[in-house]
């Protein structure tokens, strides 16, 4: 009898909470009840400030014909706030076992502890639903009296065994291959299941690209004040000054959005951006062959009124400038993180680089307006390969010496012959690392090593700046200090290839055939990441030695460190 009374008491309590929530629309309920101290724009979650989230929320909570919603959105657009608001609402008003999956354990625990759980404690509507027993609330899960909430990383072990009505996935672009399938299997074919998957743009070959394409795609549109026509937020409709020597203040004033229909121009102001986004709507793209129970939504940073179009234009120009110098990563990130687009066109492949030869001879070659010269060495078992480049004021590389060296004394003689300062000599320490670092320390040379990382963060004047080489490291070997740089091998090769193709790479006509052979030993081809399925373009070896290609990459890194390119 006592158990029956307890059950009845709980049901009455739950009914009070549910009936109180159902008197208002979900968006209004969330605004009144959910306090998110971590939100960048408002402590009380107000989705009317992010109008591009309203329809996806409505489909998730109110449309019984739609079971699965995909949302491809830019970074910083309120995806975490979306999760916080929805979870608070579901617990109080439409309970069901819920699984929220993140790309890794750190993201999972950070979201649970610092973002989500504090909102539960501050939500008066959840006060009587929070479990009283300590063991029912753990680091990344809460066992409520009427439902369970699990937050996990997207790994096979954590995605299995749980049975849920609601599935919410974050940053699907980074998930390993096959994990989306494991995730979707957790609803066990419930008739009332709901799935929400949210991410930035992804890469060709990943599960996210495939899943997004399965839905009926809707893009967020703005209405032109001039002709009243509806237009998708498209980067091609952003116009700005094309002056070669940019005055950034004047440049920002030139940035506008132009209607592709009537050419009406809209100034870049907070008022205009907010007015366009607030009056916007999603428009179906027309892919009627997609499954009707899956809906995919997309908006980009142009729709986020707090992000100026001028700032985006600056990012775009700087990213394209880096692309011209061979560094494609900033442009790729702009497309995926700002424009929220999948990248399925990987760009140009490089089968074999053509090394242009000049009329000059290796002997007595003098570099006009030379600013520095670098001796870089690839260490092998029992011998070495080297290059010496002079770099002129325009950032062009001039080959002065190349070939095989047999001994350490040969390296010393080569340094003296070309008068290369100690701080402009580097040895690759991938082979016999400690011995090479000891040599470098004794000679006051640098050691270098190419890695698989794409970028490194440097703290400059309190800001985190991402570069393709790492901050300087100091290593001690037998009491001798060696100065060392790691760098991104793939991105250094991109920069080197761009210098060669742009004419900023001068090689005398009497260079050795072995140098040409090694410089053409790698080509840029499609590569599949077995872990994620991601398809990308990478520099891959053809089977020939590429030692002087590696030396040339080190010279590129030296030039970047010295801010010559």
pTM, two decimals, is 0.72
- 174, pLDDT greater than 50: yes
Over residues 525-553, mean pLDDT: 84
* Model confidence band, residue 6 (pLDDT cutoffs 50, 70, 90): very low
* Strand-pair category, 216-223 with 98-102: unpaired
Tokens 């020597």: give the residue.
245
* Strand-pair category, 522-528 with 535-541: antiparallel
- 544, pLDDT greater than 90: no
Which pLDDT value is given to residue 405? 97
* Model confidence band, residue 535 (pLDDT cutoffs 50, 70, 90): confident
Over residues 417-428, mean pLDDT: 97
Which pLDDT value is given to residue 21? 43
Which pLDDT value is given to residue 40? 62
- 157, pLDDT greater than 90: no
CATH of 355-560, one of 3.40.50.300, 3.30.420.40, 2.30.42.10, 3.40.50.970: 3.30.420.40
* Model confidence band, residue 349 (pLDDT cutoffs 50, 70, 90): low
Cα distance between residue 565 and residue 557, in whole Å: 9
For the chain, residues classed under CATH 3.40.50.300 are 16-213
The distance of Cα 377 from the centroid of its chain, to the nearest Å, equals 33
Cα distance between residue 471 and residue 475, in whole Å: 13
Over residues 165-169, mean pLDDT: 96
Task: Work out the mean pLDDT of the chain and round it to a whole number.
Answer: 90
* Model confidence band, residue 83 (pLDDT cutoffs 50, 70, 90): very high
Cα distance between residue 414 and residue 432, in whole Å: 22
Fold of 16-213: Rossmann fold (3.40.50)
- 134, pLDDT greater than 90: no
- 15, pLDDT greater than 80: no
Over residues 342-359, mean pLDDT: 75
Better-scored residue on pLDDT, 323 or 511: 511
Q: What is the pLDDT of residues 257-294, one digit of tens each?
A: 999 999 999 999 999 999 999 999 999 998 888 989 99
For the chain, residues classed under CATH 3.30.420.40 are 355-560
* Model confidence band, residue 161 (pLDDT cutoffs 50, 70, 90): confident
Q: At what angle do helices 26-33 and 79-93 cross, to 10 degrees?
A: 100
* Model confidence band, residue 347 (pLDDT cutoffs 50, 70, 90): low
* Strand-pair category, 425-428 with 370-380: parallel
- 235, pLDDT greater than 80: yes
Per-residue tokens: 337: 């993180």
Note every long-range contact of 185-194, with CB atoms under 8 Å and residues 24 or more positions apart, other chains counting.
186/99, 186/159, 186/162, 187/163, 188/163, 190/165, 192/64, 192/96, 192/165, 193/67, 193/165, 193/166, 193/167, 194/60, 194/67, 194/68, 194/69, 194/165, 194/166, 194/167
Q: What is the pLDDT of residues 43-80, one digit of tens each?
A: 789 999 999 999 999 999 999 999 999 999 999 999 99
What are the angstrom distances between the C-alpha of 274 and each of 45, 118, 270, 482, 539? 17, 30, 6, 54, 44
The proportion of the chain whose per-residue pLDDT surpasses 70, expressed as a percent, equals: 93
What angle is formed at CA 45 by the lines to CA 42 and CA 51, rounded to 5 degrees? Answer: 95
* Model confidence band, residue 212 (pLDDT cutoffs 50, 70, 90): very high
Q: What is the pLDDT of residues 389-414, one digit of tens each?
A: 999 999 999 999 999 999 999 999 99
Over residues 161-179, mean pLDDT: 92
Over residues 195-207, mean pLDDT: 93
Cα distance between residue 157 and residue 164, in whole Å: 16
Over residues 482-504, mean pLDDT: 94
- 18, pLDDT greater than 50: no
Which pLDDT value is given to residue 264? 95
Which pLDDT value is given to residue 485? 98
- 17, pLDDT greater than 70: no
* Model confidence band, residue 20 (pLDDT cutoffs 50, 70, 90): very low
* Model confidence band, residue 470 (pLDDT cutoffs 50, 70, 90): very high
Point out the least confidently predicted range of 36-40, 44-48, 169-173, 425-429: 36-40
* Model confidence band, residue 3 (pLDDT cutoffs 50, 70, 90): low
Better-scored residue on pLDDT, 157 or 148: 148
Which pLDDT value is given to residue 348? 57
SS (H, E, C) 246-267: CCHHHHHHHCEEECCCCCCEEE
- 530, pLDDT greater than 80: no
Cα distance between residue 328 and residue 333, in whole Å: 9
């Amino acid at each position: 009898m006592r158990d029956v009374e307890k059950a009845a008491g709980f049901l009455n309590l739950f009914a009070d909470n549910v009936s109180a929530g159902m008197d208002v629309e979900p968006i209004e309920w969330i605004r009144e009840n959910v306090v998110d101290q971590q939100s960048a724009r408002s402590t009380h979650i107000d989705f009317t400030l992010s109008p591009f989230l309203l329809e996806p929320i409505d489909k998730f909570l109110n449309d019984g014909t739609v079971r699965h919603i995909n949302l491809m959105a830019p970074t910083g657009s309120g995806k975490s706030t979306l999760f916080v608001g929805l979870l608070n609402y579901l617990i109080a008003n439409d309970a069901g076992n819920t699984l929220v999956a993140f790309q890794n354990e750190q993201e999972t625990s950070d979201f649970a502890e610092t973002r989500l759980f504090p909102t539960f404690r501050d939500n008066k509507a959840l006060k009587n639903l929070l479990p009283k027993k300590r063991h029912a609330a753990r680091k990344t899960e809460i066992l409520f009296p009427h439902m369970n909430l699990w937050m996990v990383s997207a790994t096979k072990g954590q995605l299995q065994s749980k049975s849920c009505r609601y599935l919410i996935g974050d940053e699907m672009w980074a998930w390993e291959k096959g994990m989306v399938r494991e995730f979707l299997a957790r609803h066990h074919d419930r008739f009332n299941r709901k799935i929400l998957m949210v991410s930035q743009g992804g890469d060709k070959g990943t599960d996210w690209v495939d899943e997004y394409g399965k839905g009926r795609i809707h893009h967020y549109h703005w209405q032109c004040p001039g002709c009243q026509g509806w237009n998708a937020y498209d980067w091609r409709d952003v116009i700005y000054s094309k002056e070669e020597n940019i005055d950034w203040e004047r440049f920002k004033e030139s940035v506008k959005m132009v209607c592709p229909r009537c050419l009406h121009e809209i100034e870049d102001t907070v008022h205009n951006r907010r007015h366009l986004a607030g009056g916007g709507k999603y428009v179906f793209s027309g892919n009627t062959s997609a499954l009707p129970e899956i809906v995919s939504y997309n908006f980009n940073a142009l729709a986020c009124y707090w992000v100026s179009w001028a700032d985006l234009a600056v990012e775009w120009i700087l990213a394209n400038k880096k692309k011209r110098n061979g560094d494609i990563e900033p442009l790729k990130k702009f497309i995926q993180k700002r424009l929220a687009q999948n990248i399925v066109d990987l760009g140009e492949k490089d089968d074999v680089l053509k090394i242009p030869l000049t009329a000059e001879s290796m002997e007595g070659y003098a570099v006009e307006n030379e600013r520095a010269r670098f001796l870089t060495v690839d260490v092998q078992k029992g011998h070495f390969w080297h290059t010496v480049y002079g770099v002129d004021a325009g950032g062009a590389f001039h080959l002065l010496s190349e070939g095989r060296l047999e001994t350490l004394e040969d390296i010393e003689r080569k340094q003296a012959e070309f008068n290369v300062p100690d701080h402009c000599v580097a040895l690759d320490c991938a082979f016999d690392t400690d011995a090479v670092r000891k040599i470098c320390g004794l000679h006051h040379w640098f050691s270098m090593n190419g890695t698989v990382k794409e970028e490194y963060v440097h703290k400059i004047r309190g800001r985190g700046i991402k570069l393709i080489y790492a901050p300087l490291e100091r290593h001690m070997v037998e009491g001798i200090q060696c100065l060392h740089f790691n760098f991104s091998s793939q991105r250094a090769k991109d920069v080197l290839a761009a210098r060669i193709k742009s004419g900023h790479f001068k090689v005398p006509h009497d260079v050795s055939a072995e140098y040409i052979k090694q410089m053409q030993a790698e080509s840029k081809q499609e590569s599949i990441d077995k872990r994620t399925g991601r398809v990308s373009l990478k520099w891959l070896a053809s089977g020939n030695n590429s030692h002087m290609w590696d030396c040339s990459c080190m010279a590129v890194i030296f030039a970047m460190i010295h801010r010559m390119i």
